[in-house]
């Protein structure tokens, strides 16, 4: 049996049953798109600190954005499996620049589920075509994990909200045309006073700070955002006022599954590359894989990545049936991110000095993976979520 994870339908744990043949046909299409439109340019985009808008338009035209969005609004009306395939191809090629999953699987679902019909018709078809790029702004300079402590406010004035505050670390922040801003509409009510309000780029008083310099994810733009008396119509509110926190809780499991799916594929692919390197690289007259220490490290890594593949696919299957719980999503994110970081560190070590060179994929993957333990809720917050169920 061929377990090469780079082959469709295969994994370290054997044939994958979570996808059907339509999913795998879609994978072929996604893979061709990545090989042509993304892989050859990604190193340059890392130097630029951002991907060009053109790749968003190309992805939209190729049907790679918003696969789950209903056809009525320009999507494919497909299941999360199609999104997972795009996430896996990002991990397989280690091309982490295009923020497609954030846009398609995190931002768009809020708008599709909670915006007014008028706003859906205005924004969603353009989001599916890549003409409007989305972002979500929860984190502020003074808080990230503790959402109820956010200080950005949205004050109701007639038919408008007036937003004041600032956000930071916002992915797609430079490119974003539409930002879901989390703000307090009832500052005295803690988490029960948070609302989600859409703010289009170009609205007076809304400014973007610099593209933040990061230690990894170099092709992904990440920004500070500033709001000074920004007036948006009340029609830009998502769902009901003061219910924002419950909407975030409802959607965060999918965001966490995105991170787990990426980790599972990343571990399989980087293991394979490291094994290839270790077979080729000679030290003391033998391939470095022939040193028992390295072989055992790789054997442990293979065992762990195999186990995580089974669990990640289990969570993916649950999510496809609408049964993924907050707790299991947190478990998948915690295990995936922590294991990926441990394994990538060992893989880098086995590459020796070349592992530290940016031209070798493992070094970049190692730096990119580090944030998995921080964003989407840190590992400590995942433990809190799991701990509450004990
Ligand atoms: C590259 C990147 C992209 C990002 N993209 C986005 C985005 O698009 N939108 C967005 O809104 N945010 C985004 N973030 C922000 C990210 O979600 C936050 O950084 C994260 O939630 C942690 O918040 P913080 O940085 O404020 O850390 P803090 O909350 O200040 O935490 C500091 C440390 O304390 C720990 N800690 C906090 N609370 C507890 C607790 N109760 N128990 C134990 N330990 C605790 C944390 O785990 C962490 O180790 C991004 C961050 C990065 C780095």
Helices (H), 321-356: 326-350
DSSP 172-229: TTTT-SEEEEEEESSGGGGGGGEEEEEEETT-TTEEEEEE---SS-TTS-EEEEEEEE
pLDDT digits (tens, 9 = 90+) for 90-138: 999 999 999 999 999 999 999 999 999 999 999 999 999 999 999 999 9
Q: How far is the CA of 235 from the centre of ligand 1 (A)?
A: 30
pLDDT digits (tens, 9 = 90+) for 43-85: 999 999 999 999 999 999 999 999 999 999 999 999 999 999 9
Packed helices 244-280 and 326-350: angle between N→C axes, nearest 10 degrees: 30
Give the distance between the most distant pair of CA atoms in the chain: 78
Q: Which of 106, 144, 151 to mutate to test the pocket of ligand 1 (most atoms within 8 A of CB)?
A: 144
Q: Under a CB-based contact definition with an 8 Å cutoff, are residues 374 and 382 in contact? A: no
User: Tokens 């917050």 map to which residue?
Assistant: 381
Candidate from 1-5, 282-286, 304-308 with smallest mean pLDDT: 1-5
pLDDT of residue 11: 87
Residue 141 confidence (pLDDT) above 90 = yes
As given in the structure block, the two tokens for residue 200 are 């289009």
Confidence bin at 4 (pLDDT 50/70/90): low
pLDDT of residue 2: 42
Counting from 1 in the atom list of ligand 1, the atom nearest the Cα of 172 is: 8
Q: Under a CB-based contact definition with an 8 Å cutoff, are residues 264 and 312 in contact? A: yes
DSSP character at residue 16: -
145 lines ligand 1 (CB under 6 A): yes
Residue 144 confidence (pLDDT) above 90 = yes
3-state DSSP helix/strand/coil % of the chain, to nearest 5: 55, 15, 30
Q: How far is the CA of 64 from the centre of ligand 1 (A)?
A: 29
Beta-carbon count within 10 A of 224 CB? 20
User: Tokens 């989407």 map to which residue?
Assistant: 376
171 lines ligand 1 (CB under 6 A): yes
Task: Work out the mean pLDDT of the chain and round it to a whole number.
Answer: 96
The stretch 4-28 carries a mean pLDDT of 85
pLDDT of residue 10: 76
Q: How far is the CA of 145 from the centre of ligand 1 (A)?
A: 5
Rounded to whole angstroms, how far apart are CA atoms 136 and 388? 27
Q: Which of 137, 169, 182, 372 to mutate to test the pocket of ligand 1 (most atoms within 8 A of CB)?
A: 169
Alpha-carbon separation of residue 302 from 276, 315, 316 (angstroms): 14, 20, 21
């Amino acid at each position: 049996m061929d377990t090469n994870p780079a082959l469709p339908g295969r994994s370290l744990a054997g044939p994958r049953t979570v996808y059907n043949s339509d999913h795998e046909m879609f994978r072929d299409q996604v893979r061709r798109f990545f090989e042509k439109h993304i892989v050859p340019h990604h190193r340059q985009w890392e130097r630029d600190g951002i991907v060009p808008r053109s790749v968003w338009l190309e992805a939209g035209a190729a049907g790679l954005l918003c696969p789950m969005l209903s056809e009525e609004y320009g999507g494919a009306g497909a299941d999360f499996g199609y999104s997972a395939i795009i996430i896996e191809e990002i991990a397989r090629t280690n091309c982490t620049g295009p923020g497609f999953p954030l846009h398609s699987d995190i931002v768009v679902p809020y708008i599709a589920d909670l915006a007014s019909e008028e706003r859906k018709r205005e924004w969603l078809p353009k989001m599916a075509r890549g003409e409007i790029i989305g972002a979500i702004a929860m984190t502020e300079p003074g808080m990230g994990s503790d959402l109820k402590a956010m200080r950005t406010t949205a004050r109701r004035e007639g038919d408008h909200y007036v937003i004041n505050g600032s956000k930071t670390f916002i992915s797609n922040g430079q490119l974003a045309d539409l930002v879901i801003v989390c703000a307090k509409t009832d500052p005295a009510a803690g988490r029960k006073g948070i609302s989600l309000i859409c703010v289009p780029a170009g609205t007076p008083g809304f400014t973007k700070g610099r593209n933040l310099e990061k230690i990894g994810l170099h092709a992904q733009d990440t920004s500070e955002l500033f709001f000074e008396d920004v007036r948006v119509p009340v029609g830009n509110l998502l769902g009901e006022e003061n219910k924002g926190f419950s909407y975030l809780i409802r959607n965060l499991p999918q965001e966490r599954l995105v991170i787990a799916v990426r980790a599972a594929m990343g571990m399989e692919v980087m293991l394979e590359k490291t094994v290839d390197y270790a077979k080729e690289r000679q030290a003391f007259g033998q391939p470095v894989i022939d040193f028992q220490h390295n072989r055992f490290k790789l054997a442990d890594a293979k065992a762990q990545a195999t186990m995580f593949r089974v669990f990640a696919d289990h969570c993916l299957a649950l999510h496809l049936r609408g049964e993924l719980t907050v707790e299991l999503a947190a478990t998948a994110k915690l295990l995936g991110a922590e294991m990926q970081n441990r394994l990538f560190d060992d893989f880098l070590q086995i590459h020796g000095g070349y592992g530290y060179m940016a031209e070798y994929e493992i070094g970049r993957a190692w730096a990119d993976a580090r944030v998995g333990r921080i964003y989407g809720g840190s590992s400590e917050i995942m433990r809190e979520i799991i701990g509450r169920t004990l």
